[in-house]
Amino acid sequence: MNSAYLDTITLADCRDHLPLLEDGSIELFLSDIPYGISLDDWDVLHSNTNSALLGQSPAQVGKSAFKRRGKPINGWSQADRNIGNEYQEWCHSWADLVLPKMKNGASLFVFGARRTIHRVVNAFEETGFLLRDILAWKKDSAFDRAQRLSIVFDRRGLKDAADEWRGWRLGNLAPVYEPIAWFMKPYRIGGTIADNVLEHGIGATNIDACQIRGSNPTNVLEFGFQRDERRTHEAQKPLSLIEFLIKLTTREGQTVLDPFMGSGTTAVAAKHLKRHFIGFEIVPEFHRDALQRLDREGGVRYTQEPAEYQPMLFEKPKEPYDG
Ligand SMILES: C[S@@+](CC[C@H](N)C(=O)[O-])C[C@H]1O[C@@H](n2cnc3c(N)ncnc32)[C@H](O)[C@@H]1O
């Protein structure tokens, strides 16, 4: 029943197709889902039409930071404060569709933002998944965006206040990690996880295959992009990180589902590791870039486009996407 979707990325809203997958057929869900922080149009998952949102009000013209980062934590209206609830409902809308497709005892890794991951956890728990852990993906570096308060006051001509508040800043600490919620589909009541491994071939972790510099891995995962890793998606994740999570929880021949593929990192990682993959992507440009990325892996050809086509590359962003 999964044959139409297996080992390809389907251009579609995943919610239209998830119900068509075979029940109990997926061994791993691994997805870097939209974080609901208004990073781009595909990340706006609420109905708030407040003109300040996404930098549309006259006061925001020319200030690109609002467009990238949304609003200050404080919010500007009740509608702004409802955004989290609406994001949770959106997560619920597809988590419910995923539950029956997973094998008992299967893992689900869901990437999220530090300020919205609790919404994902609530939605997944309400759906019936169990939270196993919150992993931290530790990045190579992070921008410290906190403004110096003395400079802010200097610009306002408030010299005394600037002197009094020298050394203080407005903002958070440098965001050097992103959370990954690790869930499990419950296994048979009365059984154990070891029974589940025997019954469904899933539920254990392959620690020997995932050694980090000769030691067992911890729940802080330090992975970065390789020098020659092409970047075509603003939210792209390092291939080595995705490969690690697949190796940790699955065996060759098992199936990984990623309904929010972006540039196709999960598909490429699965292919490298001889796992099957099922993927969806809603934006045609990302979908085309992902298929071309798979083409470059050799073997099966996914696109009809001439080989010389070059996707737009993201060089190392000045201000990285940090959730
Ligand atoms: C955070 S990005 C994934 C990036 C990916 N991990 C990578 O390494 O390139 C999430 C992706 O989900 C896609 N998306 C959003 N809503 C979707 C939906 N309902 N169905 C399928 N794809 C969707 C977005 O277009 C976006 O490319």
Ligand 1 pocket, 287 CB below 6 A?
A: no
Instruction: State the Cα–Cα distance between residues 225 and 53, nearest whole angstrom.
Output: 32
Distance of CA 145 to the CA centre of its chain: 22
Ligand 1 pocket, 89 CB below 6 A?
A: no
CB burial readout 131-169, b (16+ within 10 A) else e: eeeebbbebeeeeeeeebbbebbeeeeeeeebeebeeeb
Ligand 1 pocket, 263 CB below 6 A?
A: yes
- Report pLDDT digits (tens) over 163-192: 999 999 998 999 999 999 999 999 999 999
Atom of ligand 1 nearest to the CA of 290: 9
Distance 197 CA to ligand 1 centre (A): 31
Q: Name the pairing type of β-strands 177-184 and 130-138.
A: antiparallel
Site to probe by mutation for ligand 1, drawn from 139, 246, 260 as the one with most ligand atoms within 8 Å of Cβ, is 260
pLDDT beneath 50: ranges in the chain: 317-321, 323
pLDDT at 44: 74
Atom of ligand 1 nearest to the CA of 283: 25
Distance 195 CA to ligand 1 centre (A): 35
Give every CB contact of residue 56 below 8 A, 6+ residues apart in sequence.
none
CB 112 within 8 Å of CB 120: yes
Domains annotated for the chain, with CATH where assigned, are 8-46+82-141+182-296 (3.40.50.150), 142-175 (no CATH)
pLDDT at 243: 98
Distance of CA 315 to the CA centre of its chain: 19
Q: How many CA atoms lie within 13 A of 216 on its CB side?
A: 5
Distance 216 CA to ligand 1 centre (A): 31
Distance 308 CA to ligand 1 centre (A): 25
pLDDT at 318: 46
- Report pLDDT digits (tens) over 189-245: 999 999 999 999 999 999 999 999 999 999 999 999 999 999 999 999 999 999 999
CB 118 within 8 Å of CB 131: no
Ligand 1 pocket, 10 CB below 6 A?
A: no
Ligand 1 pocket, 281 CB below 6 A?
A: yes
Q: Specify the pTM.
A: 0.90
Q: What are the φ and ψ backbone dihedral angles of 164, each rounded to 5 degrees?
A: -65, -35
Site to probe by mutation for ligand 1, drawn from 120, 281, 314 as the one with most ligand atoms within 8 Å of Cβ, is 281
